[in-house]
Structures are given as structure tokens and as C-alpha cells.
């Protein structure tokens, strides 16, 4: 058995000769590969039990089994982030002293899971074991949905603090965004999670004021503002409160935990005629969301406009809208569009998503990404979308793009030990600061072709065959013609460390030169 240990401090090559003799070290400037970079996220919606849990009232074991099935599917599809809804409407899918347990867990608002567990902590821990980021998704203003004749429970904010809540439409209750008490409540909820949980991001969607014609029952607070000499129009007044809240959340997160990313997924159209060919809903004057301002000011770390339209739908074209948002990205934040895969799940949709992913890569070549709505489509689809992704744009795993305005300090390189044992090579790595490592990238080369795997930070070893047999199908082969078989030889390996922000360490290849006697009987 031969063993070589190398601590990578520079891009030098360690040459390990296995077989008849010992080892020797030379230095050569290698051409090193790099792992792909792309944020590959998926929304996991809990409101209405859209994605998880499949229905209220499941046992703890059943809820956890479903959660693990989701995370295992995300990992198998080579995605690297989950946006998990933790506050559907002033309730909590985690242990909170501020708001009641969500009814989507147990069927009864205020009732904890039995046997007790904390779903957000469970999701975060299990995601991280798989090298998957967990972003906590909040609805900042939705208070309660009384759909289907549901009565407002005593634990709801609509009962506990009715002065903060407005009834809109037939079944929707909404916090009044103009009230400081509302902003304080939602801010406290977000910051409570940031402080207590090891999340990777905070996420808001497109619900600010409710969808509709722009009317909202805030006459009382509006008149109070006007009687105090307020100069703004009613529309600007509404927008001003949302603007203040978005900036406050961003700055609060950066003060508490600077590395936690803040992301927003607004409605995909800022205003009709922006750009000129675009028509559709006016979020600026209906949701009172000045989304362009938030992006221009850099009050977010990633921007995920919900671009739920096809490439060739001229009034709401995916690339036209993506290009407009890219031009508005004056602070150089991450631009990772939202894509919809739920309707319908067929070959045409799969082809559309494939095209949209490639378009997004073209618009943002240095740090591409996207988020899919929603997870249930991947769980139900075993013939169309999933294989399209793994055989196409997700053929190889990807690290998340780094976020240098938050942290550009890469971790140190790992120490790597290689050991030959018969016809196998065992690679073991360790790190002086394990808490700095979220993922490891294992690079390896057979013959002259490099490839890599990305593994969670808890992994620390891998065994490779020194030689492997590869079967190649023959195109246009006769029915009796056998496929071609070739033998490949392991020629180099290497390991890098990547942190929670996507910063990757340097690494050096360990070059493996194997004589025939080492691997052949």
C-alpha cells in the first residue's frame, strides 16, 4: 500500500506513482477545471398544502418522510436550494413565541406537531446534510384566508389584534401595511427566524397589497395621515410604507447575520409598457410594489421576478422581461428568474423550461440561476421534466454563485490523502476549519477528461477504481452489432472546499501514474 498526503497551498501538482516503486513529487502548472456555477432553486409552498405537507394532520413521521422525499428529489435533480414557506399567513411552520403554529401542519392553528418537532429546524438540518441551501419564505402581510367558510380561530392575528387587520374581498384578511405596528410585527417575525435558525436566506414573494384593482380598506389610516398634513398621494403613501419595510428588513438581516441572503420574487412585470412591448398587470399601482426601486437601490441580494410566460408570448415574453430587469440591475445583484413548471407538465413545458434556463444563462453568464414553481411537479413527474433536466442543463452539479458584496473570503484548501489498495484509489480529505466548509468539490480525471462531483461538507472520503470499463452504444448499429467497450485509467484527483457563500478554495491535482502491475491480476 502506498500513501501520499498533500496540503494544497498553491497550484502545484503532486505526482503519485503506484506500482513497482515509491512516490516522487514534481511541479507542473496544470490546466485545472472548475465546477459549474448556478443557483438551482425550487419553491416549497405550504399555504393550502400545495407542496408540503400533502395534507393537514399527518403524523410527525409522515411529515418528515415527505420532507425527506422532497430533499432527496432536489439532490437527485442536482438542484442546490429550497425556498421553504415558513409563514403562509401570520402563522408559523416552526416554534414561535410571536405567532401560532400553522394549521397546514396539524389541521388546527396553534397546535404543535405530535410527537413534537420543529419543522424548520428539521428542514434546515436535512437540507444542509445534502449540501442544499434553505431559504425561509415569508408572507409579510397576509393575515388569514377564510376560504371554504373557515372560521377565524382565536389564535389568529385577526382575532388577537383586529386593529391591524383589514378584510379584503370575500375570504381574505390582510395586515394594513401603512401601520407601524404591522411593520414592527412582520419585521420581528423575520428577525426572530434569522437569529434562531441556521438559514441561508430570507425570501419574500409578490404579495404586498393583495391582488385586485388597487382598492384597499385603509380609509382610517389614510385620513389620519392626511389630517396630519401628509403630502403624498394615496398611491405614493402606500408604496412608501412597503419601500420602508423592504429596506428595513434588508438592513436588519445584514446587521444580525450579514451572510444571510435576502431575496425577492416580485410579479414579473413592473409596469405595462416597461419595456414598450409588454402589457399586463400593473404591480406598481395595484400591489403598490415599486419593485424596480428595490432592485435599483440594492436592497436585495438576489432578484427572482416571476417570469411565468413563454418565450414566444409577445405581450409578456420571458427574454424581453428578463432583459429589462437585467438593465435595471444597477447594483449588480444576482438575477435568478422564477419559472413555472406546474402547467402543464408535458414535453412542451419541459422544452420551454429548457429554453428559459439557457436564455437565463446567456443573460447572466457569470452567476446564473433560477427558481422553479413548484416542488410538486417534480414529485409527480417521472417521465418528462426530471429526465429533461438531468440529461440536459443539469447534467453536472453546480455550486451556487458567490455573493462577493457579502463575503468574498474563500476557505482554506483541504488536506488530501490518497492511498492505493489493489485496483482502487482511496481519497480522504480534511479541513482545519470544518465549519467553513459547506460543500466539497471532488475533481477527478480518467484518461484526459476531467469531471467532478459536489458533495456535502460532511463527506470526507471517496474510492475510485484505478481503471474502469465504459460501454459506448454504436450509432446506427446493426441488431447483432455489440456496443463498443473501452478501458479508462484514473490519471488525477483533487479536492476543493466551498463555503456557505459559494466561495471555493484553491486546489491542486494529485496526478496518478499507474503501471500495469498495480491494477491487473
Percent of the chain past pLDDT 70, that is, above it, reads 91
Which helix or strand (DSSP H or E) is residue 138 part of? strand 133-138
Average pLDDT of the segment spanning 103-117: 97
Per-residue pLDDT at 382: 65
Question: Which residue's C-alpha cell is 420574487?
Answer: 265
List the end-to-end C-alpha distance of the chain, in Å, as a whole number. 16
The CB density around residue 206, as the number of other CB atoms within 10 Å, is 19
- Cα separation of 457 and 442, whole Å? 11
Average pLDDT of the segment spanning 499-508: 96
pLDDT digits (tens, 9 = 90+) for 229-264: 999 999 999 999 999 999 999 999 999 999 999 999
Per-residue pLDDT at 517: 36
Kindly indicate the confidence band of residue 184, based on its pLDDT and cuts at 50, 70 and 90.
very high
Per-residue pLDDT at 402: 98
Average pLDDT of the segment spanning 408-417: 96
Which architecture characterizes domain 2-35+406-519 according to CATH?
Sandwich (2.60)
Q: What is the largest CA-CA distance in the chain?
A: 93
Per-residue pLDDT at 2: 54
Average pLDDT of the segment spanning 270-288: 98
CB 143 within 8 A of CB 157: yes
Kindly indicate the confidence band of residue 410, based on its pLDDT and cuts at 50, 70 and 90.
very high
Residues of CATH 2.60.40.10 domain(s) within the chain? Answer: 2-35+406-519
- Cα separation of 474 and 486, whole Å? 13
Helix/strand/coil for 47: helix
The CB density around residue 311, as the number of other CB atoms within 10 Å, is 15
Helix/strand/coil for 122: helix
Average pLDDT of the segment spanning 338-354: 88
pLDDT digits (tens, 9 = 90+) for 118-137: 999 999 999 999 999 999 99
Kindly indicate the confidence band of residue 520, based on its pLDDT and cuts at 50, 70 and 90.
very low
Per-residue pLDDT at 122: 98
Kindly indicate the confidence band of residue 3, based on its pLDDT and cuts at 50, 70 and 90.
low
CA–chain centroid gap for 372, Å, is: 9
Q: What is the pTM of this model?
A: 0.93
Residues of CATH 3.20.20.80 domain(s) within the chain? Answer: 37-145+176-395
Pairing mode, strands 2-7 and 415-421: antiparallel
Average pLDDT of the segment spanning 26-40: 79
- Cα separation of 311 and 31, whole Å? 38
- Cα separation of 199 and 136, whole Å? 7
| Average pLDDT of the residues of the chain | 92
Per-residue pLDDT at 480: 67
Per-residue pLDDT at 11: 41
Kindly indicate the confidence band of residue 516, based on its pLDDT and cuts at 50, 70 and 90.
very low
- Cα separation of 231 and 233, whole Å? 7
Its CATH class, for the domain covering 37-145+176-395, is alpha beta
Kindly indicate the confidence band of residue 518, based on its pLDDT and cuts at 50, 70 and 90.
very low
Average pLDDT of the segment spanning 427-434: 96
Per-residue pLDDT at 39: 98
The larger pLDDT score, comparing residue 166 to residue 380, is at 166
- E-strand ranges in 422-521 read 424-430, 439-446, 449-456, 461-465, 467-472, 484-498, 510-514
On the question of pLDDT at 478 being above 70, the answer is: no
Helix/strand/coil for 222: helix
Average pLDDT of the segment spanning 1-25: 47
Inter-axis angle of helices 318-328 and 347-363, nearest 10: 30
Helix/strand/coil for 230: coil
Choose from 193-202, 375-384, 463-472 the range with maximum mean pLDDT: 193-202
Helix/strand/coil for 221: helix
Enumerate the H helices of 333-407 as residue ranges.
Answer: 347-363, 375-380, 385-391
Which helix or strand (DSSP H or E) is residue 418 part of? strand 415-421
Is the C-alpha dihedral spanning 78, 81, 82, 83 positive or negative? Answer: negative
Lowest mean pLDDT among 47-51, 230-234, 421-425, 440-444: 421-425
Q: Which residue from 240, 246, 237, 168 is spatially nearest to 206, judged by alpha carbons?
A: 246
Kindly indicate the confidence band of residue 20, based on its pLDDT and cuts at 50, 70 and 90.
very low
Lowest mean pLDDT among 13-22, 79-88, 139-148, 236-245: 13-22
Average pLDDT of the segment spanning 378-405: 92
CB 294 within 8 A of CB 253: no
- Cα separation of 352 and 486, whole Å? 37
Residues 6+ apart with CB under 8 A from 495: 414, 416, 427, 429, 440, 441, 442, 443, 507
Per-residue pLDDT at 513: 80
Pairing mode, strands 439-446 and 449-456: antiparallel
Amino acid at each position: 500500500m502506498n500513501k501520499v498526503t498533500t496540503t494544497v497551498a498553491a497550484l502545484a501538482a503532486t505526482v503519485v506513482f503506484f506500482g513497482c516503486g515509491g512516490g516522487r513529487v514534481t511541479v507542473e502548472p496544470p490546466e485545472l477545471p472548475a465546477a459549474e456555477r448556478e443557483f438551482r432553486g425550487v419553491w416549497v409552498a405550504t399555504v393550502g398544502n400545495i407542496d408540503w405537507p400533502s395534507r393537514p394532520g399527518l403524523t410527525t413521521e409522515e411529515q418528515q418522510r415527505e420532507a425527506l422525499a422532497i430533499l432527496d428529489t432536489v439532490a437527485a435533480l442536482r438542484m442546490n436550494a429550497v425556498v421553504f414557506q415558513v409563514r403562509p399567513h401570520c402563522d408559523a411552520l416552526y416554534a414561535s413565541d410571536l405567532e401560532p403554529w400553522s394549521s397546514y401542519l396539524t389541521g388546527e392553528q396553534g397546535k404543535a406537531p405530535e410527537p413534537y418537532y420543529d419543522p424548520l429546524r428539521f428542514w434546515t438540518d436535512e437540507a444542509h446534510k445534502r449540501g442544499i441551501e434553505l431559504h425561509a419564505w415569508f408572507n409579510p402581510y397576509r393575515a388569514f384566508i377564510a376560504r371554504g367558510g373557515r372560521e377565524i380561530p382565536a389564535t389568529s392575528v385577526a382575532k388577537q389584534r383586529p386593529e391591524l387587520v383589514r378584510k379584503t374581498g370575500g375570504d381574505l384578511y390582510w395586515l394594513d401595511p401603512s401601520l407601524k405596528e404591522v411593520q414592527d410585527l412582520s419585521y420581528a417575525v423575520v428577525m426572530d427566524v434569522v437569529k434562531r435558525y441556521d438559514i441561508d436566506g430570507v425570501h419574500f414573494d409578490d404579495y404586498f397589497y393583495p391582488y385586485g384593482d388597487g382598492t384597499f380598506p385603509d380609509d382610517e389610516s389614510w385620513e389620519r395621515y392626511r389630517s396630519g398634513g401628509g403630502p403624498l398621494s394615496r398611491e405614493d403613501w402606500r408604496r412608501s410604507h412597503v419601500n420602508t419595510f423592504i429596506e428595513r428588513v434588508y438592513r436588519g438581516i445584514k446587521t444580525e447575520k450579514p451572510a444571510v441572503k435576502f431575496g425577492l420574487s416580485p410579479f414579473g412585470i413592473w409596469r405595462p409598457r416597461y419595456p414598450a412591448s409588454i402589457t399586463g398587470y400593473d404591480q406598481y399601482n395595484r400591489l403598490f410594489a415599486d419593485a424596480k426601486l428595490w432592485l435599483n437601490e440594492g436592497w436585495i441580494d438576489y432578484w427572482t421576478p416571476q417570469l411565468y410566460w413563454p418565450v414566444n408570448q409577445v405581450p409578456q415574453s420571458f427574454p424581453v422581461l428578463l432583459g429589462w430587469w437585467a438593465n435595471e440591475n444597477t447594483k449588480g445583484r444576482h438575477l435568478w428568474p422564477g419559472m413555472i413548471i406546474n402547467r402543464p407538465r408535458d414535453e412542451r413545458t419541459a422544452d420551454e423550461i429548457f429554453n428559459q434556463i439557457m436564455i437565463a444563462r446567456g443573460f447572466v453568464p457569470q452567476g446564473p440561476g433560477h427558481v422553479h414553481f413548484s416542488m410538486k411537479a417534480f414529485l409527480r413527474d417521472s417521465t418528462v421534466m426530471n429526465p429533461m433536466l438531468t440529461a440536459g442543463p443539469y447534467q453536472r452539479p453546480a455550486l451556487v454563485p458567490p455573493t462577493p458584496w457579502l463575503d468574498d473570503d474563500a476557505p482554506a484548501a483541504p488536506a488530501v490523502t490518497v492511498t492505493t489498495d489493489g485496483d482502487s484509489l482511496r481519497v480522504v480529505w480534511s479541513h482545519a476549519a470544518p465549519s467553513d466548509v459547506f460543500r466539497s468539490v471532488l475533481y477527478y480525471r480518467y484518461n484526459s477528461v476531467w469531471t467532478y462531483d459536489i458533495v456535502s461538507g460532511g463527506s470526507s472520503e471517496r474510492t475510485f477504481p484505478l481503471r474502469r470499463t465504459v460501454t459506448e452504444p454504436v450509432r446506427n448499429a446493426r441488431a447483432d452489432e455489440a456496443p463498443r467497450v473501452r478501458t479508462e485509467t484514473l490519471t488525477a484527483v483533487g479536492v476543493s472546499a466551498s463555503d456557505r457563500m459559494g466561495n471555493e478554495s484553491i486546489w491542486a491535482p494529485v496526478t496518478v501514474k499507474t503501471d500495469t502491475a498495480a491494477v491487473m491480476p
